[in-house]
Structure 1
Amino acid sequence: MLTNIRIVLVHTFHPGNIGQAARAMKTMGLSELVLVNPRSFPHEEASRLAAGAKDIVERARVVDSLPEAVKDCVQVVGASARPRSLPLPHFDEPDRMAQALIQNAGLAPVALVFGRERSGLTNSEIRCCSHQVSIPANPDYGILNLAQAVQVLAYELFQARQKRADHEIPFRRPAQEPLPTQEQMKHFHEHLSQVVQKSGFLTQPHAQTERQLQAIFTRAQPSRKELSLLRGLLNALSRDT
């Protein structure tokens, strides 16, 4: 399960933070690191601060965009300290997030996404996620640096994995269908947008309305079979309009 969990760092400014995040990952059994447009990488500071986790830094994959980093994932959780108005499912407690990720990681890749050191993830990057999570902290000073945030959430994932192993909890009921990847959901949202616009429901661009429609299906978490059914419905509606 842990090998199916991907840590994604978006636009990391200080290369040393990449090394420290890799060290935090390795202590909790995580090994897959993906970097989205880091400012400076490879860099000797990343390798130096990784200490015994230099292998994770050396294997890290660098990509140009967050959608590319998570396109094959069935669940993507964005770590955010700031309250957001985006209508995405939100984990207030990291242990609940960890249980969900571990459950889905039993059969398919999942991702935990961290933003820039100073400003975190943008709204558009959060919209690339299926869920959000926050780390409870002192309301008067709730600031964690990047590696600390990775360490806290990686610990929760490790604990959730250990609890499942100790209690021999199955990954998923056999009757439960696999979830679609983020790339499959992206194609569905694009299809939905085309049909909505063609139908006349939107007479002018309404980005907020389209985002709210997308959020409905994100919260619903349809299975791949259900998503295929929805795509068939959209095709039928397209022929009738």
Structure 2
Amino acid sequence: MLSHIRIVLVQTYHPGNIGASARAMKTMGLTDLVLVNPRDFPHPEASRLAAGAEDLVDAARVVGSLEEAVSDCVQVIGASARLRSMPLPHFDEPAEMAESLVDHAAGDPVALVFGRERFGLTNDEIRCCSHQVSIPANPDYGVLNLSQAVQVLAYETFRAWRQRPDSGFQAARPAQDRQPTREQLGHFHDHLSRLMQASGFITQPHARTEEQLQALFARAQPSRKELSLLRGLLSSLEPDAEG
């Protein structure tokens, strides 16, 4: 699914931004990079700032127009720092954009489009898109570097993908690392209560000690393995354990 998600950079001025964007992509599992009329590419600075993502830079496709870059895509989302008068659907939140993008990428290519460093995408280029997205930022200084914008939207896309049940990103945790059931927690608290009473630790019948300890363990969220260790500790401290 992630292989269907394309990052398109339009007329990038500084070659270093291509490398930095490739690095941002690779950290989020994205590999398809398309460059529309870059000013200076290939360039050593692009490879240097890729910092381990040189393979994405080397594999980047260079095309002559945005139309060519996205012609096979079913959804094309243009990143824009400012709203336009065009009646395109607009995502105010990157998270909502990412969920829609990942849904469409399940079967077909999609694209995230980023414009020039200085003034972004032109109106004609926006018309090539099916949607727009903005990154919420400080209204007094909402300026993001190109690679920073790529990183933010790539992260949201990766987050939306890995939360899907079919992503396979999070393998099932071993049983011992899973959270205990309510029944298992109940047995633990009963065990703890018996030991505290037998040891004389609880002497006031109306004290909130047990309630406070339950709240403590609820915050701690021990795993099943950790709860088993605690049960073993309690058993070793029981009076009949000495004999």
TM-score (norm 1): 0.69
- Cα-to-partner distance string for 1:15-57 (whole Å, 9 max, x where unaligned): 0000000000000000000000000000000000001000000
**Take 2:167 and 2:158, find their aligned partners in 1: how far apart are those partners?**
14
Residue 78 of structure 1: SS of its match in structure 2?
Answer: strand
Kindly report which structure 2 residues correspond to 1:39-78, keeping only aligned pairs within 5 A, or say none: 39-78=39-78
**Take 2:166 and 2:153, find their aligned partners in 1: how far apart are those partners?**
20
Does 2:11 align with 1:11? yes
**Take 1:139 and 1:112, find their aligned partners in 2: how far apart are those partners?**
23
Task: Tell me if the contact between 2:161 and 2:167 (Cα under 8 Å) persists in the aligned partners.
Answer: no
**Take 2:108 and 2:120, find their aligned partners in 1: how far apart are those partners?**
26
Flag the 1:89–1:153 CA change in 2: closer, same or farther, 3 A. Answer: same
- The CA deviation at 1:83 is 1.5
Residue 12 of structure 1: SS of its match in structure 2?
Answer: coil
Does 2:148 align with 1:132? no
Q: In structure 1, what is the equivalent of residue 120 of structure 2? A: 120
Look up the equivalent residue of 2:29 and give its one-letter code: G
- Cα-to-partner distance string for 1:152-203 (whole Å, 9 max, x where unaligned): 00000000001113798xxxxxxxxxxxxxxxxxxxxxxxxxxxxxxxxxxx
Look up the equivalent residue of 1:72 and give its one-letter code: D
When the two chains are superposed, the root-mean-square deviation of aligned CA atoms in Å is 1.1
Residue 88 of structure 1: SS of its match in structure 2?
Answer: coil
Look up the equivalent residue of 2:22 and give its one-letter code: A
Kindly report which structure 2 residues correspond to 1:1-241, keeping only aligned pairs within 5 A, or say none: 1-165=1-165
**Take 2:19 and 2:162, find their aligned partners in 1: how far apart are those partners?**
25
**Take 1:56 and 1:86, find their aligned partners in 2: how far apart are those partners?**
33
For structure 1, which runs of at least 5 residues remain unmatched after alignment? 169-241
**Take 1:31 and 1:154, find their aligned partners in 2: how far apart are those partners?**
11
Residue 155 of structure 1: SS of its match in structure 2?
Answer: helix
- Cα-to-partner distance string for 1:114-135 (whole Å, 9 max, x where unaligned): 0000000000000000000000
Q: In structure 2, what is the equivalent of residue 196 of structure 1? A: none
Larger Rg: 2
TM-score (norm 2): 0.68
Which of the pair has the greater relative contact order for Cα pairs under 8 Å at 6+ separation?
Answer: 1
Residue 119 of structure 2: SS of its match in structure 1?
Answer: coil
Residue 165 of structure 1: SS of its match in structure 2?
Answer: coil
**Take 1:25 and 1:107, find their aligned partners in 2: how far apart are those partners?**
20
- Cα-to-partner distance string for 1:73-128 (whole Å, 9 max, x where unaligned): 00000000011101000000000000000000000000000000000000000000
- The CA deviation at 1:68 is 0.2
Residue 73 of structure 2: SS of its match in structure 1?
Answer: coil
**Take 2:59 and 2:137, find their aligned partners in 1: how far apart are those partners?**
32
Task: Calculate percent identity across the aligned residue pairs.
Answer: 75
**Take 1:66 and 1:165, find their aligned partners in 2: how far apart are those partners?**
33
**Take 1:166 and 1:87, find their aligned partners in 2: how far apart are those partners?**
34
